[in-house]
């Protein structure tokens, strides 16, 4: 199995920016959010199951899952959230495992937003890397990019592991409260460490 770094962080922390930088430096990136989008786009492998569980009201006119409609549904109904996770999580995990196994790069960065919340995450990665920034910064970034209200973003933040829980689980931390150049510098340092740990 490839040497695998689990990259995680709260919503708006900058996981994608860090992952893009690792990819630029030559790491394989396996991103569970991207896999989820592939599974739930028009013709995606999860669409039939989503329709069966929740009906046509959560399928957009183009045949993709209506993420906004479903997000509203699962945020008010914990049982609906569990049903959706029960459908998607095994499919995402299977796809992730397949892509990690097929990777030919020196090491893999496995981007999992809810890594710390997963019961067996330590078995699946050799290192845990947390992208961190203060919560008000997270909320502001998500508000700007998504058009969600501050309250909606706060609700998402509260549904995730706390900042303290993530930091307690971390082997490595990227502080993303500064510039993109500062983030890139930290990624470059970690890239050299991970190459050494992977035996490359």
| 3 state DSSP class of 175 | strand
Where residue 160 falls among pLDDT bands split at 50, 70, 90? confident
Instruction: Look at residues 29, 31, 7, 28 and name the one whose alpha carbon lies nearest to residue 200.
Output: 28
Q: Mean pLDDT over residues 47-67, rounded?
A: 93
- In the numeric block, the tokens 């046509």 are attached to 56
Number of domains in the chain: 2
Domain that holds residue 84: 34-104
Residue 58 per-residue DSSP state: G
Say if residue 10 is in the same domain as residue 90.
no
How do residues 105-116 score in pLDDT, each as one tens digit? 999 999 999 899
Do both 116 and 191 map to the same domain? Answer: yes
Structure-model confidence comparison of residues 102 and 143, the more confident one: 102
């Amino acid at each position: 199995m490839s040497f695998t770094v689990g990259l995680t962080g709260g919503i708006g922390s900058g996981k994608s920016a860090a992952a893009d930088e690792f990819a630029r430096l030559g790491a394989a990136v396996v991103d569970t959010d991207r896999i989820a989008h592939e599974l739930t786009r028009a013709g995606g492998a999860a669409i039939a199951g989503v329709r069966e569980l929740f009906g046509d009201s959560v399928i957009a006119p183009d045949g993709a899952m209506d993420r906004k409609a479903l997000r509203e549904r699962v945020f008010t109904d914990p049982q609906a959230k569990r049903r959706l996770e029960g459908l998607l999580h095994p499919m995402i995990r299977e796809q992730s495992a397949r892509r990690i196994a097929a990777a030919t790069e020196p090491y893999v960065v496995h981007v999992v937003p809810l890594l710390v919340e997963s019961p067996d995450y330590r078995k699946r990665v050799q290192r845990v890397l947390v992208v961190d920034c203060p919560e008000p910064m997270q909320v502001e970034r998500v508000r700007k990019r998504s058009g969600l209200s501050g309250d909606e973003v706060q609700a998402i933040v509260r549904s995730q592991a706390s900042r303290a829980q993530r930091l307690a689980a971390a082997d490595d931390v990227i502080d993303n409260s500064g510039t993109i150049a500062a983030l890139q510098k930290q990624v470059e340092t970690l890239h050299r460490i991970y190459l050494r740990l992977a035996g490359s």
